[in-house]
Structure 1
């Protein structure tokens, strides 16, 4: 999704353009259920304004095609809320719409809705779609419940960077994927659900891969985000958000068990009651190693090994430094700013387009998230230009994006993804190399 240049062959909507045909009177069946009850949010666009339609009362001719159905620009439609055109409330009534819009692609003064594949000179950039996990959620709720990484303090943001220097004549490959270099050691994304705990999920995800790589595959744990959410409580807020530096401190000083041992308990939004208490503690055994002092919360699992890491280190924000670190030592953790269109990502190489730039602030909300970068690549476009990208794992489950992963433009700090990148080493001793 981008501000589409005029004159380009742009769009193949999956829904197709809907011919209005002969207008029919609106019956009870046509008005129900409302679009919003089916998880469809307004995609934005100047419908009423473009046609200068603002009809009084009920007027069946006061209508336009929209998302495979018909939207109305008259006052009668307001009785059913979701049958109005996206700009009905703004343009006709001068009030904010009852549901925040989700934007599509701007072209020729119109914003094309979601559920489309977008083309630039016949070259697909990225694809949007409606994800069932987000049905019924507003943009505000998505930011509140699906992210959850607190932007680091200025002292942490200014932490010393480890600079990785390429050797003379060293050339990095044009494409790399961690799972190809380290088969069976790179773990699939988990799903944080409606828990604003990406701070715990991304930390556990990177640590899982790094412990597996640095133990040469002798240990291949999927580490427990719940262990962090419930037990790493100093200046952390569990499913209401947390800090990466605090998460890495806990993994270094206390350690966590596997996800199998301490599974994610999930969290419904607005669920009353306190957060689940910590059910796993550890004690020092010498040489900085620790062991569990409790059984696994999952009563069917006996292996309560504690896994630890060395201090986390920050990489330079130059993409070649991040690439070299990733290729030599494993996936890295990255902060990123999530905007409204990222929730709709379905595939391709993502970059954010500020289609809401001129609109009120409530349409331009964004929040801080953290993810695991697993590789990189590039695509050659028809005009010969190369589009470089990162591959990364999110924590919104396998149904989102490209099987839980996404690609994002590389080398231009897209959505701040190169501004704060961390690596870490698994704490692995010789005794760990003898057991699985």
Structure 2
């Protein structure tokens, strides 16, 4: 009996498998629907030419990956069911391809079918019949050209793409991400409380509320596409001040939604509001915690759905205090304590007066003018840059916003120049800017930041100290 050495047997088996494998790929190839029957999707694609491949006869490895399938550069591909690469005919055979060139638009290295509509950042683009790639020309909130201009311009701060703003137009940013109505002249002329600094008084070079009052200064919330910064900045300042003035016995994060839905007299919810009315409401009606009455976040304005109705009311208990008359809209929470403040007061716009107030009584509220470049702020000491000055008017937009100032400092820039700044909390969530905060030039009324600054006291009685302890 003839005996076969084991090694040879293995070799024979392997050879058989390889032949089978080649056959199988051939069958697969023989049965594959032709690429041009599916429509060659990349008519201008240079595949054979790039690799300089033109193989004689049938060479199954004379193949290239092609938009998720395989195309060939051998003569065998040129049959009724064709799987040739797009440039096989003109490059390997020197003849025009047997299929009509694809109808579409070449854009950014890809071909797009005619009449398709695509989004590029905030603009709609359409592929026209003549192969023209046609886009709207709306200025976008995230503008890569502006980001580059700022970062190359040594303005003292870095710009970047905040992903939540991608795809929004600049106009939408101004309409939906701010939302404080500039106060009327009578409110702007509100008497300022003059803080008297004694001649010997020296304010520190740097101060941060969260270092003086640890655990009492709250992190920024996110107003989403709700033009409600009037409610967010008011609730933010009141939260910190109630916590500080109760010596930490009460540390609520107050509810912007309570203001948005219930403070409706002359206010427009997610379409904007006035700071003086918000403070009036906090004094005379009070609000509950954000836990009790969470933010619903409304997407961009839709006329059929104005602000969600008010789900929290309060009644007087005597001595000016109030209590809730409803359960928390968030059914999981029972604590529906009402928090109030004393009358709001306005500070002088001298930086020293604002600093002294901040250091003694806690964060303050400031109005500011937001320009197109502020949305792109990533880190550093912000000041409005001139990068949009040469561009058409729609690229230069601004609107009124309100924020919470939490501290100050100064920094020496690489050129040796010292810049003084405020630190402030915004309401665009923790991933914008410096962990939701920003620094802005101090002492020159940059973007009106020092023009209208408000303070308030948390309404705290002895019984609160006991009750909340």
- Superposed pair shares fold, TM > 0.5: yes
User: Which SS does the other structure have where 1:238 is aligned?
Assistant: coil
Aligned to 2:406: 374
Distance 1:115 1:266, change over 3 A: farther
Q: Provide Cα deviations, 1:295-345, integer angstroms capped at 9, x if missing partner.
A: 000011000000000000000001111000000000000000000000111
Aligned to 1:188: 219
Q: Distance in 1 between matches of 2:393 and 2:120?
A: 26
Distance 1:175 1:40, change over 3 A: farther
Displacement of 1:113: 4.2
Aligned to 1:283: 315
Aligned to 1:388: 420
Distance 1:230 1:323, change over 3 A: same
Displacement of 1:131: 1.1
Displacement of 1:257: 0.2
Q: TM-score normalised to the size of structure 1?
A: 0.77
Q: Tell whether 2:368 aligns with 1:336.
A: yes
Aligned to 1:135: 166
Aligned to 2:61: none
Aligned to 2:11: none
Candidates 293, 310, 325, aligned match of 1:262: 293
Aligned to 2:247: 216
User: Which SS does the other structure have where 1:392 is aligned?
Assistant: strand
Aligned to 2:133: 79
Aligned to 2:19: none
Q: Tell whether 2:380 aligns with 1:348.
A: yes
| Contact 2:381-2:441 at 8 Å conserved across structures | yes
Q: Distance in 1 between matches of 2:374 and 2:150?
A: 14
Q: Distance in 2 between matches of 1:403 and 1:118?
A: 23
Aligned to 1:30: 109
Displacement of 1:382: 3.4
Aligned to 1:168: 199
Q: Tell whether 2:336 aligns with 1:297.
A: no
User: Which SS does the other structure have where 2:373 is aligned?
Assistant: helix
Q: Distance in 2 between matches of 1:103 and 1:204?
A: 28
| Contact 1:315-1:321 at 8 Å conserved across structures | yes
How many residue pairs get aligned? The number is 358
Distance 1:335 1:77, change over 3 A: farther
Greater relative CO, 1 or 2 (CA 8 Å, sep 6+): 1
RMSD over equivalenced CA pairs, Å: 2.7
Displacement of 1:116: 7.1
Distance 1:80 1:261, change over 3 A: same
Q: Distance in 1 between matches of 2:228 and 2:132?
A: 38
Candidates 114, 137, 140, aligned match of 1:98: 137
Q: Distance in 2 between matches of 1:258 and 1:40?
A: 36
User: Which SS does the other structure have where 2:423 is aligned?
Assistant: strand
Which runs of 5 or more residues in structure 1 are unaligned? 1-23, 42-75, 82-96, 106-110
User: Which SS does the other structure have where 2:378 is aligned?
Assistant: strand
Q: TM-score normalised to the size of structure 2?
A: 0.72
Displacement of 1:102: 5.9
